[in-house]
Structure formats: C-alpha cells, structure tokens
Chain A
Amino acid sequence: MKKIEVKEFYRTKQKDFLLSLVTEPETMERSIVSQYLSRPGLAFAGYFDQFDYKRIQILGEKEISFLQSQKSEELYRITQEIFTYDIPCFIVTKGLSVPEQMIFLANDLKIPIFVSRLTTEKLYDFLRKYLADIFAPSKTIHGTLVDVFGVGVLLTGKSGIGKSECALDLVERGRRLVTDDAVKMIAKDGKIFGKSAKNYGYFMEVRGIGLIDVAKMFGIHAVCQEKKIDVQIELMQWKDNMDYERIGLTENHVNILDMKIPIIYLPVSPGKNVSVIIEVVAMNYMLKSYGYDAAKEFTQKIQADIIRKSKK
C-alpha cells in the first residue's frame, strides 16, 4: 500500500502549502496512508463513530474557535482522547494559533501539528491534488515514451527490437523523448500519464555506443517531462504468416491500470523506416480523434460502389 512519510511531506511541500511545524520535529515520525482529508469537528465534540483518523486532520476556523470556547480541562480531556487514535498529522489553516494544551499533548504523544497560512479552501484544493498524485495507481514497464506531434506514443517490444534507436530517429526528426527503457505510468483523471521512473534525466543506451544524454545532445526542445499516453505501439519481428492489420477497421486495445489504450502491432524488418510509420500512427490517431477515419471512409466508398453496381 502506498504511503508518504510526514517528514517527506513537510520537506517537499513546506513552501507550497506555507506550512510551519508547531510541535517538536520528533513528532514527524509518522506516515500518511490515505489520500483523503478529514475535518474532525465531530470528534472534538465527542462523537467518534466513523472518525476517519487515518486521514490528515484539517482544523479550520470553526474547529479552532470551538476548541477555544471549551473549558481548559474539557479541552485537555477531549484532545487526549482524540490523540489516542493513530492520526498522521493535524494541519491548522489560516495561520490560526493552536491551543497550548494541544501542542503539549501532541509533543507528548508524538503527533505532528502543522499550521498553514493558506485558507481552508485553498489548502483543501492543494492537498487533494497533491495526495491524488501521490496515491494514484501506477506501474512501471519496459518501454519508450515519445511525444509525436502532441500524441503520446508508448513503444514496447522485446529488448533489442529497436525502441531506443527508433526514439532517437524520432528525436532527430524533431519529436520529443519522454523516457527510454522504463516508463512509469500513472492513472490520473481517467487518463494514463507516463514519465521517467527515476528523475536522472534523459539518458539512453544505444547499442554499440553506450549511454548518451538526449537533452544535452539534441537540446531541451527534444525532451518532455510527462506525457499522456494515447496509443501503444508494439514493435515485433516481421513474421511471414502472421496476421497483420490490413485495413484498420478493427481497433485493438490493451488494459493499462484499468484503462483502455489503443494498441498497434507493428511488424519491423531491417531497412524499414519505422519512425515515419510511427509518425503516421500519431497523425492517424489525431485524424480519428477529429472524427476522420480513413479506413471507414475508403470502405464506405467501395461499399457504395458495390451497391450501385448490383442495382444495375
């Protein structure tokens, strides 16, 4: 199961979320395991049914003013009870001040409390997007991702079939490399995005040469950080008696992270210019998404002709 350490969260998002830690640094030895947020108002009022304690707890103006309205002993008692739950962290919004007892107890029970200078609404928005990204289903596969005329093309196929060389050729022709060899795929907003599995840069292995740096060699315009995957092309060795698509009326799909992605099985043989064909795949994909399907168009014309002749 996915999770993020509170420490890591604070280190990376401190600036974006305008966070400051009001408890001791040792309190951050916890991890966030849910992508959702909770407003623990009812818990502070003593109602613990369905208390989502595994979520980040957001305390806004309402909660803080409620807590401040409580008698000191009562506040201490209820806070103590809440803090028995395994809560990842609290975030107080709008830069509001946190009651002393709460900080004292939080330090004692090692529960981190942050104060954000953002409004509750803003923080909710930012946190939701951030957590959705972190907890999005993802998977890393062997392949190469290129941006061809704005179409995200995932090249797959056996090792040595020529994915890297093909990507290199495409880059040479002015297209962009997203990542070579390992593609991390992330499901977000009903789409699949692909990027490099590790942020080491745009290195690529070319058989016979070794490693090259595509961004350095071809310039920054030759690379792209992240791209939506529109179509997969499986490169395969040409076989004489294999059934290859001849018209293109039927579309094949693969399932990536529960999403359907069109796939094209592309036979390659020595001397064949695969890059041009990949560009054609991308352009054909664009035409189809604009509503023009060449295969349908052509076969409809033939059909009309056959009908016209049979009526004679």
Chain B
Amino acid sequence: MLRKTVEITNKLGMHARPATMIVKIATRFRSEFKIIKDNMEINGKSIMGVMTLAAEYGSKLELLVDGVDEEHLLNEISELFISKFGEE
C-alpha cells in the first residue's frame, strides 16, 4: 500500500473534467484507489465519488493505492495533479 499527499493547483478546482480524467486513468489499473479529503474517503474509480469531494484550489488530497500495479497508478495520478489537468 502506498500513500501520497497532493495539492490541487489548478484555479478551477476538481470540477467535472479533471474528475473524469482521474477516474479514466484509475479504471485502467487493477489496484484499489482511494482519495481522502478532510474526513471524506471515496473510491477514486467512481466519478460520483471524485466529484463529490468538490476539491477547491489549494486543498490537499491524500491518495491511497493498494494492489499489484499501485506504483504505476500512483505515478500517473500524481502526474495529473502536477500538470494541473492541463489547465491554469
């Protein structure tokens, strides 16, 4: 199991488009993927879950991955946050 804390750095926060990007990448992997924000823990492969976080600019999320391909999954997801989902 791996853990990592990431920050939302795009101005618009995690709206529909970034949420879809996360879920689409996550569902390609077999590992379990959870995202924790404040006291909420959701399944990172569920679009409803990810959007319900309503993560705003500057907020911090904890990524939790567990499974055979956890490392790759965590890398790709972190990459997304670093690239600001291709936004500003």
Residues of B within 8 A of A (CB): 12-16, 19-20, 23-24, 28, 47, 51-52, 54-59
Contacts and interface: CB of A to CB of B under 8 A. Distances in A.
A51 B15 CA distance: 64
B47 A243 contact: no
B56 A247 contact: no
A220 interface: no
A302 B13 CA distance: 10
Contact of A310 (B20, B52, B57): B57
A198 B63 CA distance: 58
Give 9 closest A-B pairs by Cβ, nearest first: A306-B13, A305-B54, A309-B56, A310-B56, A299-B16, A246-B47, A306-B56, A302-B51, A306-B54
Given A247-B51, A310-B56, 6 more contacts: A240-B28, A246-B20, A247-B19, A299-B51, A306-B56, A307-B56
Contacts of A246: 20, 23-24, 47
Interface string A280-303: 000000000000000000110011
B32 to A, nearest CB: 16
A247 B20 contact: yes
A141 interface: no
B15 A299 contact: yes
Contact of B15 (A240, A241, A302): A302
A249 interface: yes
Contacts of B13: 306-307, 309-310
B57 to A, nearest CB: 5
Main DSSP-derived SS at the B contact region: loop
B28 A249 contact: no
Interface residues of A, number: 15
Nearest to B48: A298
A247 B47 contact: yes
Contacts of A299: 15-16, 51
A241 to B, nearest CB: 5
B23 A306 contact: no
Contacts of A302: 15-16, 51-52, 54
User: Which of B23, B28, B54 lies at the interface centre, i.e. has the most chain A CB atoms within 10 A of its CB?
Assistant: B54
Contact of A306 (B20, B28, B55): B55
Contact of A309 (B16, B24, B54): B54
Interface in A202-251: 240-241, 243, 246-247, 249
B54 to A, nearest CB: 4
18 contacts: A240-B28, A241-B28, A246-B23, A247-B16, A247-B20, A299-B15, A302-B15, A302-B51, A303-B16, A306-B12, A306-B14, A306-B56, A307-B13, A307-B56, A309-B56, A309-B59, A310-B56, A310-B58
Nearest to B53: A302
A307 B59 CA distance: 12
A243 B23 CA distance: 10
A302 B51 CA distance: 7
A240 to B, nearest CB: 8
A36 to B, nearest CB: 50
Contacts of A307: 13, 56
A238 to B, nearest CB: 12
Contacts of B15: 299, 302-303, 306
A251 to B, nearest CB: 14
Nearest to A245: B20
A307 B56 CA distance: 7
Nearest to A309: B56
A47 to B, nearest CB: 65
